[in-house]
Structure 1
Amino acid sequence: MAQYLVLIYEDEAGWAAWGPKAEAAMAEHTRFGETHGGTAMVGGAWLQSASTATTIRDGVVSDGPFAETKEVLGGYYLLEAEDLDAALDLAKQIPAPFGGLEVRPIRTVG
């Protein structure tokens, strides 16, 4: 089994407004975790807002994310799947109502 990181990039304003769309998405995240937790889903987390980020570039520490963008990394899932197609099928079940997902294979060393 290969591992894939699903990065969730969204506009934080949608979550901050916390309306019906955000409530429905949260219910979908819960359902995804209940369905795939302990099997295909190895882990995952909802990150604090980008305003809490601290970055390091060339040894210099600064507040905030690397770039000013509308969509920021808001969370992730670590999945196990037979191949990329299977990982994409799983990732399609992950809600991202205020943005989108990026699926990347974990590089194995050794």
Structure 2
Amino acid sequence: MSYICDMKLATLPTANKMLDEKYGELGSLSREQFNEESIAWFYGNMIRERRKELKMTQKQIADKIDREQSYIARVEQGKTDIQLSSFFRIAAVLGIQFIPTFVSVLK
């Protein structure tokens, strides 16, 4: 029985293969754009969830960092290219501390 299950699993596409087919292979412009949008969405979602945990409004966050509510909405939706300084200011308001780790990606 295990052999049959292993064979079925082997025929399933991997996540990377599915991403390659839909967005292009790693290194392609379309895949890089997808990766950037995914990261923006991830951090925006993290900010939104934390804001909701604290029962804060987008306006309250915006007022604390001297920005417009619509800016916070775009950040939470992953629809704006947020500057690192703005991200850290929003995170500080939400009580999130980031400790950067730097690793070389060049081979």
Q: TM-score, normalised by structure 2?
A: 0.28
Question: Whose radius of gyration is greater, 1 or 2?
Answer: 2
Q: TM-score, normalised by structure 1?
A: 0.27
Whichever structure has more helix as a proportion of its residues is 2
Whichever structure has more strand as a proportion of its residues is 1
